[in-house]
C-alpha cells in the first residue's frame, strides 16, 4: 500500500526509518529556514523543533513559506501547518544558546543571520551543526556550495564567520552552505530561487547526516 512517503522510501530504502526516528533543531525559519523545514517535513523527519522570534511582514512574501499570515508569529503559524513541528518563540542570542539544551537533537541547523548567535551555536554544538551562510543579494543558485567553514570562499558572511570564530578561539569544524557568487546589489535584496536553494541544500545535508551518507 502506498502512502505519502512511498517515493522517499524508494530513494532511501531501510534508511528511511532513521529519518522517522530523528529529531532536528532548526534555528531560524526565514527565507532559508522555512524552505528547509518544508523539505524536512515532506521527507519524513519524525520531529522538528523550530526557533525564531519574528513575526511575518509584507516584505517576507517574496521568499518565506507561510508569510501570507502577515502579523502572525512565524514559529506558531508554521507549527499550525506542519503537525510534527514544535515551536519555540524566542530570540536566539548567545545567552539563549548557552542556556538551551541541545542534547535531544540529532542535527542542529543554523539558518539565522545574527553573527554573535551563529558563533555561540558553533561553540556549543559544532559536532551536530549544519550552517547557512549568506543567501541574500544573489541570483544564481548553481553557485551554491557546501564545505568546511574553514574552506568557504567568495562569501562575505562566511568570511566574517571565519574571522569571528578565530577571534573567539573556536577550533572545531562544521559544514557550511554558501555561495561564491558576488553580491549584485548593496541593499538587502533576496530571491527565493537562491534562498530556497540554500534551504533545500541544508535539508539534503541533514538527511544525509542522519542516514550516514556523509
Asked, for residue 23, whether it belongs to a domain, the answer is yes
Of the candidates 49, 5, 8, the one whose C-alpha atom is nearest the C-alpha of residue 204 is 8
| Model confidence pLDDT, tens digit, residues 66-88 | 999 999 999 999 999 999 999 99
Asked, for residue 139, whether it belongs to a domain, the answer is no
Domain containing 121: what range? 6-128+191-210
- The three-point CA angle 75-157-130 to 5° equals 55
Asked, for residue 196, whether it belongs to a domain, the answer is yes
| Model confidence pLDDT, tens digit, residues 81-111 | 999 999 999 999 999 999 999 999 999 999 9
Asked, for residue 85, whether it belongs to a domain, the answer is yes
Number of domains within the chain: 1
Q: Beta strand 144-148 with 23-27: parallel, antiparallel or unpaired?
A: unpaired
Q: Is the pLDDT of residue 214 over 90?
A: no
Estimate the share of the chain in helix, then strand, then coil, as percent rounded to the nearest 5: 45, 15, 35
Single pTM value for the model: 0.96
Q: Is the pLDDT of residue 174 over 90?
A: yes
Task: Supply the CATH number for residue 115's domain.
Answer: 3.40.50.720
Looking at residue 188, its pLDDT comes to 87
Q: Whats the size of the chain, residue-wise?
A: 214
Scored b (16 or more CB within 10 A) or e, 150-164 reads eebeebebbeebbee
Asked, for residue 137, whether it belongs to a domain, the answer is no
The C-alpha cell at 5 is 512517503
| Model confidence pLDDT, tens digit, residues 130-168 | 999 989 999 999 999 999 999 999 999 999 999 999 999
Asked, for residue 176, whether it belongs to a domain, the answer is no
Looking at residue 1, its pLDDT comes to 82
Amino acid at each position: 500500500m502506498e502512502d505519502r512517503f512511498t517515493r522517499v522510501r524508494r530513494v532511501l530504502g531501510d534508511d528511511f526509518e532513521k529519518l522517522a526516528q530523528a529529531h532536528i533543531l532548526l534555528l531560524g525559519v526565514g527565507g532559508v529556514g522555512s524552505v528547509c523545514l518544508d523539505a524536512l517535513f515532506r521527507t519524513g523527519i519524525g520531529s522538528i523543533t523550530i526557533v525564531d522570534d519574528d513575526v511575518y511582514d509584507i516584505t517576507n512574501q517574496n521568499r518565506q513559506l507561510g508569510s501570507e499570515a502577515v502579523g502572525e508569529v512565524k514559529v506558531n503559524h508554521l507549527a499550525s501547518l506542519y503537525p510534527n513541528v514544535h515551536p519555540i518563540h524566542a530570540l536566539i542570542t548567545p545567552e539563549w544558546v548557552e542556556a538551551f539544551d541541545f542534547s535531544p537533537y540529532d542535527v542542529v541547523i543554523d539558518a539565522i543571520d545574527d553573527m554573535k548567535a551563529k558563533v555561540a551555536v558553533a561553540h556549543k554544538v559544532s559536532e551536530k551543526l549544519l550552517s547557512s551562510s549568506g543567501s541574500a543579494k544573489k541570483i544564481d543558485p548553481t553557485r551554491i556550495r557546501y564545505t568546511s567553514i574553514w574552506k568557504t570562499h567568495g562569501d562575505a558572511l562566511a568570511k566574517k564567520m571565519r574571522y569571528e570564530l578565530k577571534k573567539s578561539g573556536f577550533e572545531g569544524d562544521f559544514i557550511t552552505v554558501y555561495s561564491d557568487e558576488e553580491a549584485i546589489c548593496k541593499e538587502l535584496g533576496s530571491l527565493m530561487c537562491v534562498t530556497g536553494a540554500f534551504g533545500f541544500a541544508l535539508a539534503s545535508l541533514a538527511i544525509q547526516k542522519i542516514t550516514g551518507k556523509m
